[in-house]
Structure 1
Amino acid sequence: MKLSKFTIAALGAVTLASTANLVATPAHAWGKTGHRITGKIATAYLSVEAKAAIAELLGPESLAEASTYADEMRSNPSEFWQKTANPFHYVTLQQPHDYHADDCPPEGDAMSALKDFTATLKSDDASREEKQLALRFIVHIIGDLHQPLHVGSAALSDRGGNDVKVVFFGEQSNLHRVWDSGLVDHQKLSYSEFSHWLQRRITPAQAQTWATPDPYTWINESSQLRDEVYPQTDEPYLGWDYVYNYTPVMKQRLQQGGVRIAAYLNDVFAANSEG
């Protein structure tokens, strides 16, 4: 199998042309704490095969560590990290709630990147380093797609809420940042504390219901929530009422993101073991 050109580029093998629509790039989804929560929760739901495959690739690096790699590398000066990988953190829908092939721009998006990185992870021809990059990005992308404002709407043209200026507990911010980190950090918990609290509240029935490896489902859910999280008035101040209303939503998306990371990787590595 031929490896995707951006996977090779990330390892410094080639230089790619710049992408065209960089201004649409939103901020990082969930922030480090949120991503680590999804990675930590995922670990509890991995199959034996997936655990073994991940350990072979990452060694002592946990999924919580791996989950933030794609954001931590954004300051890397290479063409891949500065331009090519920027669109891999989000999707923009032309229709209200469903992703279609025409939604993917020429430079790619989170869905096209998820597909290509999955192919790399399954490839017999990919190097260990290429598969490590693919695995880290897959964990990150799945987390991204569970943040409602990383499923943007072309009709809104507000860069996933980045252009919606708000005041969050007296500090200038924007709606996207509130969802990336504001609601999560407001809990004043470490990622390990927060993930422990969230994971132990996931019932077996919920884990079974949520365990879909289908990204179209995750995107549809996030798009439905996206339409609900915008402030209902022109008042830019977001405080206790907003936290009260949307913290339960944030918590469930983190829980679901963790369960879905595991479901997706279980599916990938089960297919590999069967092959």
Structure 2
Amino acid sequence: MYSKILMLLFVSSSLYSYAWGLTGHRIIAEIAENHLCGKARREIKKMMGKERLAYWANWPDFIKSDTTGVWKQASSWHYVNIDPQVDFKAFEQNLKMQAGPSLYTQINTLSAQIKDKKTSEKDRKIALIFLIHIMGDLAQPLHVGRAEDLGGNKIDVTYFGEKTNLHSVWDGKLVDSQKYSYTEYATLLDIRTKEEVKQIQSGTLEDWLYDSHKIANKIYAQTPNESKLSYDYQYKFNETMERQLLYGGLRLAKVLNDLF
């Protein structure tokens, strides 16, 4: 079954449009790989083989097309919906009160599975692949959005005249509009000093989620339903989008380095 599902990796990538999209997730994974410590790099290679992290970064989205139901329970791992909160304390309390698996709970669960020596080799690899992916989801602000509109999926907009929704704009359209390959974009973004990297990687998982949540609130405020988006929207939010890609990669590296 595992090998059969892995074959989904080779289905045409044009069929998929999830989370950061193909390019965004690969940018985050590539930046993370550039910041792995020696031990983490060696341990991950033992688990994953010769492929770079970017090769696996979109697999948890690819398997959404699986029809066997094997991965049905994983659909809620990609996001955590939360209403606007007045401050970090309220956000953290609300976050911890939510029932069921989510982006928040699953990052901790997957990390524990990877660290547990009793976890099988196959399951550790799957857990690592999911962790690479959903740490990228964490950095996409609308994956820490609101339940009422499914993280912007129910907010209709046009992007350069094309009918779409707010979530899709942030998933891929803003990134892909820049016309860089994922390696080009990772190289262009990954230019912070060691001190700046350390600062970006500081804080807790809850801090990082709150960071994305605050940005989501700004996006909602400035993108009402039926908005017509084009160059002005790119100008307004491109810096934020690039920040989130960089922060996602650096924070993923921090999690992986701590794990190994």
The two structures share one fold, judged by TM-score above 0.5: yes
Task: After TM superposition, give the deviation of residue 147 of structure 1 in Å.
Answer: 0.4
Query: Following superposition of structure 1 onto structure 2, how do residues 47-58 of structure 1 map, counting pairs within 5 Å?
Result: 47-58=37-48
- Shift of the 202–163 alpha-carbon distance from structure 1 to 2, 3 Å rule, reads same
Secondary structure of the 2:117 match is coil
Task: After TM superposition, give the deviation of residue 144 of structure 1 in Å.
Answer: 0.2
Q: Tell me what 1:90 maps to.
A: 79
Check whether the contact 2:157–2:225 (CA below 8 A) recurs between aligned residues: no
Task: After TM superposition, give the deviation of residue 235 of structure 1 in Å.
Answer: 5.2
Task: After TM superposition, give the deviation of residue 119 of structure 1 in Å.
Answer: 1.3
Task: After TM superposition, give the deviation of residue 211 of structure 1 in Å.
Answer: 1.3
Instruction: Pick the aligned partner of 2:120 from 127, 138, 141.
Output: 127
Q: Tell me what 2:231 maps to.
A: 240
Secondary structure of the 1:92 match is coil
Instruction: Pick the aligned partner of 1:31 from 21, 42, 60.
Output: 21
Structure 1: 5+ residue stretches without partners: 1-9, 13-26, 270-275
Task: After TM superposition, give the deviation of residue 219 of structure 1 in Å.
Answer: 0.6
Q: Distance in 2 between matches of 1:248 and 1:91?
A: 24
CA RMSD, 1 decimal = 1.8
Q: Does 1:101 align with 2:90?
A: no
Q: Which amino acid aligns with 1:74?
A: K
Instruction: Pick the aligned partner of 2:210 from 204, 209, 220.
Output: 220
Instruction: Pick the aligned partner of 1:167 from 151, 158, 163.
Output: 158
Q: Does 1:150 align with 2:143?
A: yes
Q: Tell me what 1:21 maps to.
A: none
Check whether the contact 1:213–1:263 (CA below 8 A) recurs between aligned residues: no
Q: Tell me what 1:72 maps to.
A: 62
Secondary structure of the 2:81 match is strand
Task: After TM superposition, give the deviation of residue 111 of structure 1 in Å.
Answer: 1.4
Q: Which amino acid aligns with 2:66?
A: N
Decide which moves more: 130-139 or 114-123.
114-123
Task: After TM superposition, give the deviation of residue 215 of structure 1 in Å.
Answer: 1.6
Task: After TM superposition, give the deviation of residue 265 of structure 1 in Å.
Answer: 0.7
Check whether the contact 1:212–1:264 (CA below 8 A) recurs between aligned residues: no
Q: Identity percentage over the alignment?
A: 35
Q: Distance in 2 between matches of 1:246 and 1:89?
A: 22
Please identify runs of 4+ aligned residues in structure 1 that moved more than 4 A.
Answer: 232-235
Task: After TM superposition, give the deviation of residue 233 of structure 1 in Å.
Answer: 5.4
Q: Which amino acid aligns with 2:180?
A: L
Task: After TM superposition, give the deviation of residue 28 of structure 1 in Å.
Answer: 2.0
Q: Which amino acid aligns with 1:101?
A: K
Instruction: Pick the aligned partner of 2:106 from 99, 104, 113.
Output: 113
Task: After TM superposition, give the deviation of residue 92 of structure 1 in Å.
Answer: 1.3
| Number of residue pairs matched by the alignment | 240
- Shift of the 171–132 alpha-carbon distance from structure 1 to 2, 3 Å rule, reads same
- Shift of the 179–234 alpha-carbon distance from structure 1 to 2, 3 Å rule, reads closer
Q: Which amino acid aligns with 1:145?
A: L
Alignment TM-score, normalising by the size of structure 2: 0.87
Q: Which amino acid aligns with 1:65?
A: Y
Alignment TM-score, normalising by the size of structure 1: 0.83
Q: Does 1:62 align with 2:52?
A: yes
Q: Which amino acid aligns with 2:200?
A: W
Task: After TM superposition, give the deviation of residue 243 of structure 1 in Å.
Answer: 0.2
In terms of fraction of residues, the more helix-rich structure is: 2
Task: After TM superposition, give the deviation of residue 146 of structure 1 in Å.
Answer: 0.5
